[in-house]
Structure 1
Amino acid sequence: TVKGDVHDIGKNIVGVVLGCNGYDIVDLGVMVPAEKILQVAKEQKCDIIGLSGLITPSLDEMVHVAREMQRQDFHLPLMIGGATTSKAHTAVKIEPKYSNDAVIYVTDASRAVGVATQLLSKELKPAFVEKTRLEYIEVRERTANRSARTERLSYANAIAAKATFDWSTYHPVQPTFTGAKVLDDIDLNVLAEYIDWTPFFISWDLAGKYPRILTDEVVGEAATALFEDAKVMLRKLIDEKLIRARAVFGFWPANQVEHDDIEVYGDDGQPLARLHHLRQQTIKTDGKPNFSLADFVAPKDSGVTDYVGGFITTAGIGAEEVAKAYQDNGDDYNSIMVKALADRLAEACAEWLHQQVRKEHWGYDPEETLDNEALIKEQYKGIRPAPGYPACPDHTEKGTLFDLLDDNGQSGVTLTEHYAMFPAAAVSGWYFAHPQAQYFAVGKVDR
Structure 2
Amino acid sequence: VKIEQNYSEPVVYVSNASRAVGVAQSLLNPELKPAFVARIDKEYEVARDQHARKQPRSRPVSLAHARANRQQLDWVNYQPPKPREPGVQTFENVPVSVLRPYIDWTPFFLSWELAGKYPRILEDEIIGEEATKLFADANAMLDKLERDGSVRCAGVIGLFPANAVGDSIEVYSDESRSEVKKVLHHLRQQSEKQGFPNYCLADYVAPKESGKPDWIGAFAVTGGIGEEAIANAYKADHDDYNAILIQAVCDRLAEAFAEYLHEQVRKVHWGYAPDEALSNEELIRENYRGIRPAPGYPACPEHTEKGSIWELLAVEQAIGMQLTESYAMWPGAAVSGWYFSHPESKYFAVAQIQQDQVEDYAARKGMTLAEAERWLGPNLN
Q: TM-score range by the shorter chain?
A: 0.7 to 0.9
Change (3 A) 1:326 1:229: same
Q: CA deviation at 1:172?
A: 1.3
Residue 80 (structure 2) aligned to one of 166, 172, 178: 172
Partner-residue secondary structure (3-state), 1:252: strand
Partner-residue secondary structure (3-state), 1:146: coil
Partner-residue secondary structure (3-state), 2:99: helix
Tell me, yes or no, if structure 1 residue 138 matches structure 2 residue 65: no
Q: CA deviation at 1:150?
A: 3.9
Pairs within 5 Å for 1:29-108: 76-83=8-15, 108=23
Task: In structure 2, give the amino acid aligned to 1:426.
Answer: A
Partner-residue secondary structure (3-state), 1:242: coil
Aligned to 1:282: 191
TM-score by length of 1: 0.72
- What whole-Å deviation, never above 9, does each CA across 1:224-256 have from its counterpart, x for those lacking one? 010111111110011111101111000111111
Partner-residue secondary structure (3-state), 1:313: strand
Q: Which runs of 5+ in 2 are unaligned?
A: 356-381
Partner-residue secondary structure (3-state), 1:190: helix
CA–CA separation in structure 2 for the residues paired with 1:386 and 1:261: 16
CA–CA separation in structure 2 for the residues paired with 1:173 and 1:131: 53
Aligned to 2:116: 208
Q: CA deviation at 1:373?
A: 0.6
Task: In structure 2, give the amino acid aligned to 1:374.
Answer: E
Tell me, yes or no, if structure 1 residue 330 matches structure 2 residue 238: yes
CA–CA separation in structure 1 for the residues paired with 2:91 and 2:336: 14
Aligned to 1:343: 251
Partner-residue secondary structure (3-state), 2:277: coil
User: For the Cα contact (< 8 Å) 2:21–2:112, is it kept in 1?
Assistant: no
Aligned to 1:266: 173
Tell me, yes or no, if structure 1 residue 252 matches structure 2 residue 184: no
Task: In structure 1, give the amino acid aligned to 2:49.
Answer: E
Task: In structure 2, give the amino acid aligned to 1:344.
Answer: R
Change (3 A) 1:160 1:185: same
Aligned to 2:344: 436
Count residues with an aligned counterpart: 347
Using CA pairs under 8 Å that are at least 6 residues apart, name the structure with larger relative contact order, 1 or 2: 2
Q: CA deviation at 1:196?
A: 0.4
CA–CA separation in structure 2 for the residues paired with 1:407 and 1:221: 42
Q: CA deviation at 1:107?
A: 8.9
User: For the Cα contact (< 8 Å) 1:264–1:272, is it kept in 2?
Assistant: yes
CA–CA separation in structure 2 for the residues paired with 1:295 and 1:249: 22
Task: In structure 1, give the amino acid aligned to 2:34.
Answer: T
Q: Between Structure 1 and Structure 2, whose CA radius of gyration is higher?
A: 1
Aligned to 1:117: 34
CA–CA separation in structure 1 for the residues paired with 2:266 and 2:44: 51
Tell me, yes or no, if structure 1 residue 156 matches structure 2 residue 102: no
Name whichever of 264-273 and 425-434 sits farther off: 264-273
User: For the Cα contact (< 8 Å) 1:383–1:433, is it kept in 2?
Assistant: yes
Change (3 A) 1:229 1:248: same
Tell me, yes or no, if structure 1 residue 223 matches structure 2 residue 134: no
CA–CA separation in structure 1 for the residues paired with 2:301 and 2:121: 31
Q: CA deviation at 1:158?
A: 1.2
CA–CA separation in structure 2 for the residues paired with 1:236 and 1:128: 38
Task: In structure 1, give the amino acid aligned to 2:272.
Answer: Y
Partner-residue secondary structure (3-state), 1:79: coil
Change (3 A) 1:418 1:169: same
Change (3 A) 1:130 1:227: closer
Task: In structure 2, give the amino acid aligned to 1:141.
Answer: A
Pairs within 5 Å for 1:291-310: 291-310=199-218
CA–CA separation in structure 1 for the residues paired with 2:55 and 2:24: 30
User: For the Cα contact (< 8 Å) 2:58–2:192, is it kept in 1?
Assistant: no
Change (3 A) 1:422 1:82: farther
Partner-residue secondary structure (3-state), 2:11: strand
- What whole-Å deviation, never above 9, does each CA across 1:23-57 have from its counterpart, x for those lacking one? xxxxxxxxxxxxxxxxxxxxxxxxxxxxxxxxxxx
CA–CA separation in structure 2 for the residues paired with 1:227 and 1:129: 28
Change (3 A) 1:408 1:214: closer
Partner-residue secondary structure (3-state), 1:396: helix
Aligned to 1:420: 328
Aligned-residue Cα RMSD (Å) equals 2.8
User: For the Cα contact (< 8 Å) 2:295–2:302, is it kept in 1?
Assistant: yes
Change (3 A) 1:154 1:368: same
CA–CA separation in structure 1 for the residues paired with 2:260 and 2:252: 12
Percent of residue pairs identical: 49
Change (3 A) 1:111 1:135: farther
Partner-residue secondary structure (3-state), 1:272: strand
Aligned to 1:241: 149
CA–CA separation in structure 1 for the residues paired with 2:327 and 2:50: 30
Residue 277 (structure 2) aligned to one of 369, 380, 383: 369
- What whole-Å deviation, never above 9, does each CA across 1:368-388 have from its counterpart, x for those lacking one? 000111000000111101111
Aligned to 1:47: none
Q: CA deviation at 1:133?
A: 8.3
Change (3 A) 1:209 1:407: closer
Task: In structure 1, give the amino acid aligned to 2:262.
Answer: H
